[in-house]
Amino acid sequence: MSDYLNFSLEGKVALVTGASYGIGYAIASAYAKSGAKIVFCDIKQEFVDKGLASYKADGIDAKGYVCDVTNEEMVQDMVKKIEAEVGVIDILVNNAGIIKRIPMCDMTADEFRQVIDVDLNAPFIVAKAVIPSMVKKGHGKIINICSMMSELGRETVSAYAAAKGGLKMLTRNICSEYGADNIQCNGIGPGYIATPQTAPLREKQADGSRHPFDQFICGRTPAGRWLQAEELTGPAVFLASDASNAVNGHILYVDGGILAYIGKQP
């Protein structure tokens, strides 16, 4: 098969951070179905155990590690273990992240730093740990989970928007610095995803009406609905495969059209 049409991940080792559940789990599961060996990490053993149980139930042989991705020493140790126990990492998905919805003037500098540390510093730390072996192997794929907040601002998310905007530029800089080593670094910018965490925002109100935020998102999205985590998997497989070898430094927004839409006239 021509590499231009090769979407297989057969034999590749994929590390997805924060992939015990949610978007990371959906992406890692899709990679497994495309032939990749899955390794993931989370910050607590209980999360890793929960993820391992879910992968096993889905027939996926995944390997999990406890790791604080903001801790450079822990990340370096984890990558060394993965290389020794599974193999050199071919695909990295920087998925782990947090958000604090706090008005800017009510947010402390420490709270701001925490979001920046997890959402921007950690992808730098993990990418830095895997790139040298990718260079030696002669190829590598890095996919950063960006956000629509890489492009747009919104009230109460100043730290998150700053971090995700920075992650967009880190993505482009990794492309610039390591493209000649056959490493492609791209981003995925999810829209609003229906997950257990967003379920309260989609519940019917006591009077039977839709939650105001649910109305806002569906009205602001040309698709007219929340997206499913599984809808990110096709783009994620593409960016991890040889089919995307000429795609580098790109942010692929999987948002149902929000960024293309000014919104309905009142």
Catalytic residues: 160
Cβ–Cβ < 8 Å for 24, 18? yes
Cβ–Cβ < 8 Å for 82, 95? no
What DSSP assignment string belongs to the chain? --GGG----TT-EEEEET-SSHHHHHHHHHHHHTTPEEEEEESSHHHHHHHHHHHHHTT--EEEEE--TT-HHHHHHHHHHHHHHT---SEEEE---------GGGS-HHHHHHHHIIIIIHHHHHHHHHHHHHHHHT-EEEEEE--GGGT---TT-HHHHHHHHHHHHHHHHHHHHHGGGTEEEEEEEE--EE-GGGGGGGSPPTTSPPPHHHHHHHHHSTT-SPEEGGGGHHHHHHHHSGGGTT--S-EEEESTTGGG------
Task: Locate 163 and state its tokens.
Answer: 């971090």
Nearest residue to 133 (alpha-carbon basis) of 178, 172, 175, 71: 178
Pairing of the two strands 227-228 and 193-194: parallel
How far apart are the C-alpha atoms of 254 and 232, rounded to whole Å? 7
